[in-house]
């Protein structure tokens, strides 16, 4: 853990900002291809920085490791569902649907869920691997 | 008054409910919290009962007949003309009724049996897991008999295998259970794969995937008919544990007794009989049909019948008897005559509840005494009269004692053999009948007579006695009124198999067959009396040098042999793997290029890249320079610089989003590589160096240059390989119509979803394996 308060403050701020940017990427997933993956990697890199600054012991108190396992599992589950639906269930083999949110006025498509699942799986999977490599100091 | 259409749709809906309810309950119970374990059994039983009632109501509302009618259709894969179909006819109705009601009886039995058995086996396994698997097993079997197309049939077929694998290995802390489960899985799946190849051959050559269209159409011709028949029958033989694939069934007796009761009577092994009956109209004219059913059938009735006589374990005796009794049915089908098929279906119906009942008797004996060996049990006829009455009704019936259910079906099968002038089969079945009588007499005598008063003072719970009595009652009904279910169950099943009605009427005629049967039964009784008096010592049976594990064991041995071979290839050297993978890539590509060279119409269309050329030149120079770097850390850094330069190329090529992803991936990759180096116990990223081999190893240089040429040439030609009306624009337009500009995700989810599934599996497996290695190290510390 870095004792420098400025480093810790900066890490927390960057984490918050990148969280917002990641969600912006996901919510605008309709507009740019591959945003779920970008958002996942962005959060991942920021979290790694955050872990380096705070140290594993303190960071894992704030964000328990279990959350990453859940993210990995949930992301994989959603991806499986999204992939298997068009293969096995939908009449014309197509899952894609677009819709407009009432009052909000923005158009969304079902790829949003795909991007969200990719975000959870990439982020959750890689962080599961990375935090599992950490040794807790005695 | 409901009109005909309403009745039809109500009946179809009820059938669908009966098919889906066990699945829904199974999935629900699989997610059931362990602390609510005791509630699980109170959910499984009502759900399975409702399913059985819905099925019965469906058949009462609209009786099934010989028409394999589709009751639900959903477009599945339009490109292949494949629809999801749920269908029913008399044949599927008979199997479904047996599956659903026997499932109810065994789950009722398991309520008291399972906690006791878990204690006895020192097992901590969750009860809800057992009930979840039983529900999924039932649902899968109902899926097999309701499947309307070939691929659906295969999927449900393997689902029954998966559920049974987990149920046989329920007490996984016993090595025997693990081995039994694996053996069952390996043999039945091997048979299932053969069956799948048969289905694919059939579907692609006949241009039909619908079972209804196939069985109502013309049979394939010549060699296709023979090959398809062989492959499909291998699947049936393996599933029904027939010779030479029998070795898995005795190993599966390690499962909890309710599972054995279900598995041996109406599920799993019954699927093989269903497959044969379903494909009878299409394949019975093949030459292979007769040989592949009759030869294993003769081996089963005579050889495995004899082995059943000398078993010392209660459940083992019943397991061998299952193989032997199913062999009778296989002979019936193998005769390929109307009489043979009728007799085989009648035998299956009667045998199902007799065998389920006998397993419940065996389970009750173990529950009351804790004993599993026949020679250790005795005197239970005096201590448990209800159990004895049920056991005798069921046992004498299976033994073929006159005017009992088992007697009638053996009579019908003998009649079919005689009608066909197949005297060898006639003799083999008489011999099989003799062994049936002997092993059932031994079973009943050892348990209910003999010295001892096992189980005294311990009452048999009503929930365990009731299902056994119900099944014994059905056996009694068959004895008193052998035609009691002909109109409702047997005749529609025969019509479904033969594709035309053929009424069944079981009669006791004074004929040569009756005389021969009575003679064999008398011989059996004389043998038994001599045996009891010590004139035919039991040891004599055990001295006959018979080995059972032939045939089926080869599948397991072959599997382990292949595993050893695979392990020997995996020597643990990354360089070794790379050389093999890349070497095969070079050789394979050379062959493909030689056979199908790139057409001249594809000149490279890679444009002059302008500003990015400078960056790409830098990438090339640094790549070559990386060969000469000695320090691990320096190499990792150089590779990350290369990645960032590539992201610069993407920026210049107006693909900022890809550039961002590339930057992030490079950052992550660099950190991961450095982390891996730090965590490694053998490499110091700062101090350690690598040796550059120079030009010494020509083989490695050859592979490296080959891969370079392939990738370079591939990229060069691929740049021009876009036809005018290619797939790309079409996909993009189609995706854009619904997904706005995010057509990448649209293509990933919709158009190449199968590839994406596989990528997810690879990513998930790699992540979990890497994390698992760290967790293992932590635990070790």
* Distance of alpha carbon B232 from alpha carbon B563, whole angstroms: 26
Among residues B365, B396, B401, B357, the alpha carbon closest in space to that of B266 is found at B357
Whether pLDDT at A22 is above 80 = yes
Among residues B310, B482, B297, B485, the alpha carbon closest in space to that of B406 is found at B482
Whether pLDDT at B134 is above 90 = yes
Whether pLDDT at B739 is above 60 = no
Whether residue B75 contacts residue B83, with contact meaning beta carbons closer than 8 Å, is answered with yes
Facing residue for A45 by CB, picked from B664, B754, B756: B664
Q: How large a percentage of chain B has pLDDT more than 70?
A: 87
A108 — pLDDT class (breaks 50, 70, 90): low
The β-bridge partners of B740 are none
Tell me how close the Cα of A93 comes to any Cα of chain B, in angstroms.
7
Buried b (16+ CB within 10 A) or exposed e, A35-74: bbbbbbbbbbbbbbbbbebbebeebbeebeeeebbebbbe
What's residue B18's pLDDT? 92
Residues 6+ apart with CB under 8 A from B415: B339, B343, B513
For A52, nearest residue in chain B (alpha carbons): B671
The CB density around residue B427, as the number of other CB atoms within 10 Å, is 14
CA–CA distances in Å: residue B80 to residues B207, B208, B228, B360: 9, 10, 20, 46
Residue by residue, DSSP assigns B249-262 as: HHHGGGS-HHHHHH
What's residue A19's pLDDT? 86
Structure tokens at A1: 């853990």
User: Who wins on pLDDT, B2 or B488?
Assistant: B488
Whether pLDDT at B632 is above 60 = yes
Buried b (16+ CB within 10 A) or exposed e, A92-112: ebbbbeeeeeeeeeeebbbbb
Give the model confidence (pLDDT) of B142-171 as tens digits. 999 999 999 999 999 999 999 999 999 999
Weakest-pLDDT range from B175-184, B409-418, B770-779: B770-779
CA–CA distances in Å: residue B242 to residues B238, B377, B399, B482, B675: 6, 30, 20, 27, 56
Whether pLDDT at A81 is above 90 = no
Chain A hits for B775, CB-CB cut-off 8 Å, are 132
At B71 the three-state DSSP class reads strand
What's residue B538's pLDDT? 63
Helix axes B90-120, B37-61, angle to 10 degrees: 160
Question: In the Cβ-directed half-sphere of B216, how many Cα atoms lie within 13 Å?
Answer: 14
Q: Is B124 on the interface with A (CB under 8 A)?
A: no
Mean pLDDT of A81-108: 64
What's residue B548's pLDDT? 58
What's residue B196's pLDDT? 94
Chain A hits for B735, CB-CB cut-off 8 Å, are 96
Whether pLDDT at B292 is above 90 = yes
- Give, as one character, the DSSP assignment of residue B245: S
What's residue B107's pLDDT? 94
Q: Determine which of B27, B667, B749 to mutate to test the interface with A (most A C-beta atoms within 10 Å).
A: B749
At B75 the three-state DSSP class reads strand
Mean pLDDT of B323-331: 94
Facing residue for A38 by CB, picked from B661, B753, B770: B661
Chain A hits for B156, CB-CB cut-off 8 Å, are none
Facing residue for A33 by CB, picked from B76, B744, B757: B744
* Distance of alpha carbon B424 from alpha carbon B398, whole angstroms: 23
A8 — pLDDT class (breaks 50, 70, 90): confident
What's residue B468's pLDDT? 93
For B78, nearest residue in chain A (alpha carbons): A92
For A49, nearest residue in chain B (alpha carbons): B671
Enumerate the H helices of B449-507 as residue ranges.
Answer: 462-480, 491-498
The CB density around residue B365, as the number of other CB atoms within 10 Å, is 27
User: Who wins on pLDDT, B106 or B639?
Assistant: B106
Rounding to the nearest 10 degrees, give the CA dihedral for residues B644, B648, B651, B652: -160
**Cβ–Cβ gap B742/A96 under 8 Å:** no
- Most confident of the ranges A82-86, B288-292, B676-680: B288-292
What's residue B94's pLDDT? 95
**Cβ–Cβ gap A129/B746 under 8 Å:** no
Weakest-pLDDT range from B110-114, B283-287, B392-396, B606-610: B606-610
* Distance of alpha carbon B114 from alpha carbon B131, whole angstroms: 10
For A118, nearest residue in chain B (alpha carbons): B760
Strands B69-77 and A107-109: unpaired
Give the model confidence (pLDDT) of B511-535 as tens digits. 888 888 889 888 888 888 887 777 7
B338 — pLDDT class (breaks 50, 70, 90): very high
Mean pLDDT of B252-261: 91
What's residue B610's pLDDT? 67
Q: Is B75 on the interface with A (CB under 8 A)?
A: yes
Whether pLDDT at A93 is above 60 = no
**Cβ–Cβ gap B750/A72 under 8 Å:** no
Tell me how close the Cα of B88 comes to any Cα of chain A, in angstroms.
21
Give the model confidence (pLDDT) of B30-78 as tens digits. 887 777 777 777 889 999 999 999 999 999 999 888 888 888 888 777 6
Whether pLDDT at B654 is above 60 = yes
Tell me how close the Cα of A26 comes to any Cα of chain B, in angstroms.
11
3-state SS of chain A: helix, strand, coil percent to 5? 70, 5, 25
User: In A, residues 40-59, which contact B (CB 8 Å cutoff)?
Assistant: 41-42, 44-45, 48
Whether pLDDT at B700 is above 90 = no
Weakest-pLDDT range from B259-268, B652-661, B733-742, B760-769: B733-742
Among residues B170, B147, B392, B399, the alpha carbon closest in space to that of B262 is found at B170
Whether pLDDT at B605 is above 60 = no
Q: What is the ipTM of this complex?
A: 0.73
Chain A hits for B771, CB-CB cut-off 8 Å, are 128-129, 132
For A124, nearest residue in chain B (alpha carbons): B767
- Give, as one character, the DSSP assignment of residue B121: T
Mean pLDDT of A120-128: 83
Q: Is B735 on the interface with A (CB under 8 A)?
A: yes
B544 — pLDDT class (breaks 50, 70, 90): low
At A124 the three-state DSSP class reads helix
Residues 6+ apart with CB under 8 A from B567: none
Residue B6, classified by CB atoms within 10 Å of its CB into exposed (0-12), middle (13-18) or buried (19+), is exposed
What's residue B56's pLDDT? 94
Whether pLDDT at B585 is above 80 = yes
Whether pLDDT at A138 is above 50 = no
* Distance of alpha carbon B517 from alpha carbon B408, whole angstroms: 11
Q: Determine which of B78, B679, B742 to mutate to test the interface with A (most A C-beta atoms within 10 Å).
A: B742
Enumerate the H helices of B653-752 as residue ranges.
Answer: 656-679, 698-718, 727-739, 743-746
Q: What mean pLDDT is reported for chain B?
A: 84
Residue by residue, DSSP assigns B211-238 as: HHHHHHSPPPPHHHHHHHHHHHHHHHHH
Whether pLDDT at B230 is above 90 = yes
3-class secondary structure per residue, A49-93: HHHHHHCHHHHHHHCCHHHHHHHHHHHHHHHHHHHHHHHHHCCCC
**Cβ–Cβ gap B657/A34 under 8 Å:** yes
Q: What mean pLDDT is reported for chain A?
A: 76
Cis peptide before B686, with omega less than 30 degrees from 0?
Answer: no
- Give chain A's radius of gyration (CA, Å): 18
Among residues B437, B433, B443, the alpha carbon closest in space to that of B318 is found at B443
Q: Is B660 on the interface with A (CB under 8 A)?
A: yes
Whether residue B773 contacts residue A128, with contact meaning beta carbons closer than 8 Å, is answered with no
Q: How large a percentage of chain B has pLDDT more than 90?
A: 34
What's residue A50's pLDDT? 86
User: Who wins on pLDDT, B348 or B128?
Assistant: B348
pTM score above 0.90: no
Chain B hits for A44, CB-CB cut-off 8 Å, are 664, 668
Tell me how close the Cα of B86 comes to any Cα of chain A, in angstroms.
14
**Cβ–Cβ gap B753/A129 under 8 Å:** no
**Cβ–Cβ gap B740/A44 under 8 Å:** no
Q: Is A128 on the interface with B (CB under 8 A)?
A: yes
At B312 the three-state DSSP class reads coil
Facing residue for B74 by CB, picked from A33, A91, A95: A91
- Give chain B's radius of gyration (CA, Å): 32
Weakest-pLDDT range from A102-116, B89-103, B384-398: A102-116
Among residues B416, B414, B446, the alpha carbon closest in space to that of B431 is found at B414
């Amino acid at each position: 853990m870095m004792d420098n308060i400025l480093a810790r403050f900066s890490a927390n701020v960057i984490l918050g900002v990148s969280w917002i940017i990641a969600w912006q990427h996901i919510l605008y997933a309709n507009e740019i291809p591959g945003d779920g993956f970008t958002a996942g990697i962005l959060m991942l890199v920021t979290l790694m920085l955050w872990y380096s600054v705070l140290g594993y012991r303190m960071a894992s108190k704030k964000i328990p490791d279990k959350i990453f396992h859940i993210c990995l599992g949930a992301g994989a589950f959603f991806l499986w569902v999204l992939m298997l639906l068009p293969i096995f269930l939908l009449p014309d083999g197509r899952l894609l649907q677009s819709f407009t949110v009432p009052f909000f006025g923005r158009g969304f498509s079902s790829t949003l869920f795909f991007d969200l699942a990719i975000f959870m799986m990439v982020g959750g999977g890689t962080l599961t691997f990375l935090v599992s490599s950490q040794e807790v100091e005695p | 008054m409901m009109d005909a259409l309403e009745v039809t749709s109500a009946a179809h809906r009820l059938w669908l409910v009966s098919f889906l309810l066990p699945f829904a309950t199974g999935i629900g119970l699989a997610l059931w919290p362990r602390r609510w374990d005791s509630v699980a059994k109170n959910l499984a039983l009502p759900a399975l009962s409702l399913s059985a009632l819905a099925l019965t109501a469906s058949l009462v509302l609209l009786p099934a007949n010989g028409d394999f009618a589709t009751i639900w259709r959903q477009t599945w894969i339009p490109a292949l003309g494949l629809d999801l179909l749920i269908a029913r006819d008399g044949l599927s109705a008979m199997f479904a009724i047996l599956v659903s009601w026997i499932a109810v009886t065994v789950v009722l039995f398991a309520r008291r049996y399972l906690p006791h058995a878990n204690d006895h086996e020192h097992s901590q396994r969750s009860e809800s897991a057992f009930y979840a698997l039983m529900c999924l097993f039932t649902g899968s079997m109902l899926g097999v008999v309701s499947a309307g197309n070939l691929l659906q049939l295969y999927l449900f077929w393997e689902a029954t295998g998966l559920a049974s694998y987990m149920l046989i290995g329920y007490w996984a802390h016993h090595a025997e259970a693990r081995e039994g489960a694996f053996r069952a899985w390996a043999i039945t799946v091997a048979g299932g794969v053969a069956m799948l190849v048969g289905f694919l051959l059939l579907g692609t050559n006949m241009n039909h995937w619908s079972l209804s269209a196939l069985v109502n159409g013309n049979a394939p011709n010549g060699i296709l008919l023979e090959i398809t028949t062989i492959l499909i029958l291998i699947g049936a033989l393996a599933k029904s544990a027939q010779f030479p694939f029998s070795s898995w069934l005795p190993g599966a007796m390690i499962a909890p007794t309710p599972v054995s009761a279900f598995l041996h009577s109406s599920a799993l092994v019954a699927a093989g009989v269903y497959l044969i009956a379903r494909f009878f109209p299409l394949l019975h004219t093949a030459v292979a049909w007769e040989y592949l059913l009759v030869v294993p059938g003769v081996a089963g009735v005579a050889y495995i019948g004899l082995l059943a006589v000398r078993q010392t374990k209660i459940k083992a005796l019943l397991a061998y008897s299952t193989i032997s009794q199913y062999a009778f049915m296989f002979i019936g089908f193998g005769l390929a005559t109307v009489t043979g098929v009728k007799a085989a279906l009648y035998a299956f119906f009667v045998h199902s509840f007799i065998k389920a009942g006998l397993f419940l008797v065996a389970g009750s004996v173990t529950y009351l005494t804790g004993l599993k060996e026949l020679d250790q049990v005795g005197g239970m006829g005096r201590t448990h009269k209800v159990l004895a009455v049920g056991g005798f009704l069921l046992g004498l019936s299976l033994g073929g004692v006159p005017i009992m259910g088992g007697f009638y079906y053996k009579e019908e099968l003998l009649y079919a053999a005689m009608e066909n002038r197949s005297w060898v089969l006639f003799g083999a079945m008489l011999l099989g009948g003799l062994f049936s009588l002997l092993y059932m007499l031994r079973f009943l005598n050892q348990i209910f007579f003999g010295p001892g008063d096992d189980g005294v003072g311990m009452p048999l719970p009503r929930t365990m006695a009731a299902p056994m009595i119900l099944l014994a009652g059905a056996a009694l009904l068959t004895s008193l009124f052998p035609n009691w279910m002909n109109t409702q169950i047997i005749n529609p099943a025969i019509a479904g198999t033969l594709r035309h009605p053929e009424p069944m009427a079981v009669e006791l005629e004074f004929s040569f067959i009756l005389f021969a049967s009575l003679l064999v039964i008398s011989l059996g009784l004389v043998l038994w009396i001599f045996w009891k008096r010590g004139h035919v010592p039991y040891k004599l049976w055990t001295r006959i040098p018979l080995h059972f594990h032939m045939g089926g064991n080869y599948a397991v041995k072959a599997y382990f042999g292949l595993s050893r071979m695979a392990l020997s290839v995996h020597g643990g050297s990354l360089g070794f793997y790379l050389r093999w993978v890349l070497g095969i890539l070079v050789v394979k590509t050379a062959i493909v290029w030689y056979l199908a060279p790139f057409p001249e119409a594809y000149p490279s269309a890679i444009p002059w890249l302008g500003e990015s050329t400078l960056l790409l030149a830098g990438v090339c120079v640094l790549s070559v320079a990386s060969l000469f770097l000695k320090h691990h850390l320096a190499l990792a850094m150089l590779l990350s610089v290369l990645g960032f330069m590539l992201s610069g190329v993407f920026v210049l090529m107006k693909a900022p989003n890809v550039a961002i992803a590339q930057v992030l991936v490079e950052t992550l990759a660099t950190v991961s590589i450095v982390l891996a180096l730090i965590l490694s116990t053998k490499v110091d990223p700062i101090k350690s160096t690598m040796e550059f081999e120079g030009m010494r190893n020509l083989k490695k240089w050859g592979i490296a240059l080959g891969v370079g040429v392939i990738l370079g040439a591939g990229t060069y030609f691929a740049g021009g390989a876009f036809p005018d009306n290619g797939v790309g624009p079409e996909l993009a337009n189609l995706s854009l119509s619904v997904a706005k500009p995010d057509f990448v995700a649209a293509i990933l989810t919709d158009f190449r979803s199968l590839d994406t599934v596989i990528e997810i599996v690879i990513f998930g497996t790699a992540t979990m394996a890497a994390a698992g290695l760290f967790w293992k190290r932590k635990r070790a510390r």
